[in-house]
Amino acid sequence: MSKTAGCCQNCLHYIFDYETPKTLVIPSLRVGFVFRFTQLLVVLYVVGYVCVVQKAYQETDSVVSSVTTKVKGFVFTNTSDAEPRFWDVADFVIPPQGDNSFFVLTNMVDTREQTQSRCPELPNPSTTCADDCDYIEGYNDPRGNGIRTGLCENYSTTVKTCEVLSWCPLEIDTKLPERALLAAAENFTVLIKNSITYQKFNFHRRNILPHINSSYLKICEFNRKTDPDCPIFRLKHIVSEAGEDFQDMAVKGGVLGILIDWSCDLDWWAGKCYPKYSFRRLDNKNPVNNVAPGYNFRFAKYYKTADGEETRTLIKAYGIRFDVIVFGTAGKFGIVPTIVNLGAALSFLSLVPMVTDWFMLTCMRKRELYSRQKVTYLTEEADTESVSDVH
């Protein structure tokens, strides 16, 4: 019994005896100052830089977003190349449904009344022929415009080219208007509605801010200085803010990013969370190492003639694709990042005594005295008896 009791007591001693380092107090103002000053530096860094500047105490979440766009405007074209025509949104915005990426047609090459038939190729060194179109059976030039029939036909009075089976007449996309057909598109406006969510914080926002009323929205137009919150943008303004010229860009097309930055600090009040708009050209306008410069694509409108034959109007559409890109990170006080950052700071605080000791034992005049009283060397002679007991 007494043995168990003794064991228990030993155990208790083992667990609850508190072992604390013996310390030496150095009443030196200089050493004390070095100690406190180093401590202060670490604390300042933690409070000032980590907490205030970097907000490292925050948990973060990425934005989840939904965008609706609506272009407004119309234009009347009356050039020598084409017949006069009135264009509205249904004609020049592709796709029509107003996603986060919309295309505004500014220039085009249209080829009307195409039918499935045969016609001579466009003349170039590999398509011109003299008498018979000599080609390997089954070979179709991937840079050509159709399936060769083997015949050689008159392209014009002077040139003969290989005949192809294709949508004829072939598109001649070299005569692109040098001044954009829909140059007036620069005055179109686009309304961008953007709704975002930070799921982790259950935070929802729209880019139409609460303090904006309907009457303002009917007349406003985005301007970084005077109307930074208006979600209606004039295309010309977007392009010029991106450092480009609308008329230049309209000829061959391009891709323009409308970037909405929703970086938010959700800590104190939600009102600090505003969208910040910026604009940047996303394709490479530099003609060096540039394949297929600008932005264009082909689409067709299909018709049927009275006798049931299918015809189409092929349109090579040049224009500006606007990509609304929403990004951002929200931060909010979180216990884990706070603990981790405080922990790291504490680690550095635990370095402070080491620095001060080093200073005290090397730079101070009385370093010998400090060293003698702080550091004891193991005394082997006293092996058989307790050091404490001896004295």
User: Who's near 280: CB < 8 A, 6+ residues apart?
Assistant: 242, 256, 257, 259
- Pairing of the two strands 310-327 and 254-261: parallel
260 binds a copy of itself (CB under 8 A): no
Question: Has 255 been labeled as part of a binding site?
Answer: no
- Please list, residue by residue across 246-281, b when 16 or more beta carbons sit within 10 angstroms of its beta carbon and e when fewer do: beebbbbbbbbbbbbbbebebeeeeeebebebebeb
* Residues 300-319 contacting a copy of itself, CB under 8 A: 300-306, 311-312, 314
Of 121, 241, 244, 283, which lies in the binding site for a copy of itself, with binding defined by CB under 8 A?
283
Question: Has 298 been labeled as part of a binding site?
Answer: yes
Cβ atoms 258, 322 nearer than 8 A: yes
Of 116, 126, 154, 223, which lies in the binding site for a copy of itself, with binding defined by CB under 8 A?
116
Question: Has 297 been labeled as part of a binding site?
Answer: yes
Of 297, 309, 363, 367, which lies in the binding site for a copy of itself, with binding defined by CB under 8 A?
297
DSSP 123: P
Q: How far is the CB of 6 from a copy of itself (least distance, A)?
A: 15
Phi, psi for residue 35 in degrees, rounded to 5: -60, -50
377 binds a copy of itself (CB under 8 A): yes
User: Who's near 8: CB < 8 A, 6+ residues apart?
Assistant: none
Question: Tokens standing for 383?
Answer: 């092996």
| Residue 355 CB neighbour total at 10 angstroms | 14
- Please list, residue by residue across 103-122, b when 16 or more beta carbons sit within 10 angstroms of its beta carbon and e when fewer do: bbbbbbbebeebeeeebbbb
193 binds a copy of itself (CB under 8 A): yes
* Residues 145-164 contacting a copy of itself, CB under 8 A: 145-147
* Residues 29-58 contacting a copy of itself, CB under 8 A: 29, 31-33, 35-36, 49-50, 54, 56
Integer Cα distance of 341 and 149 in angstroms: 75
Integer Cα distance of 338 and 51 in angstroms: 9
Of 44, 290, 363, 367, which lies in the binding site for a copy of itself, with binding defined by CB under 8 A?
290
126 binds a copy of itself (CB under 8 A): no
Residue 228, strand partner residues: none
Of 2, 3, 5, 25, which lies in the binding site for a copy of itself, with binding defined by CB under 8 A?
25
165 binds a copy of itself (CB under 8 A): yes
Cβ atoms 334, 58 nearer than 8 A: yes
* Residues 54-83 contacting a copy of itself, CB under 8 A: 54, 56, 62, 64, 66, 68, 70, 72-74, 76
Question: Has 63 been labeled as part of a binding site?
Answer: no
Of 1, 5, 130, 335, which lies in the binding site for a copy of itself, with binding defined by CB under 8 A?
335
Instruction: Give, for 223, the enclosing helix (H) or strand (E).
Output: none
Q: Cis omega before residue 95 (within 30°)?
A: yes
357 binds a copy of itself (CB under 8 A): yes
Integer Cα distance of 23 and 189 in angstroms: 75
* Residues 233-252 contacting a copy of itself, CB under 8 A: none
Residue 110, strand partner residues: 315
Of 79, 81, 82, 88, which lies in the binding site for a copy of itself, with binding defined by CB under 8 A?
88
Q: How far is the CB of 368 from a copy of itself (least distance, A)?
A: 8
- Kindly state the number of chain residues that form the binding site for a copy of itself, as judged by CB under 8 A: 143
Q: How far is the CB of 130 from a copy of itself (least distance, A)?
A: 25
The region of 7-15, 122-130, 172-180, 266-274 touching a copy of itself under the rule CB under 8 A is 7-15
Integer Cα distance of 99 and 205 in angstroms: 18
Binding residues for ATP: 70-72, 189, 296-298, 316
Annotated binding site: 70-72, 189, 296-298, 316
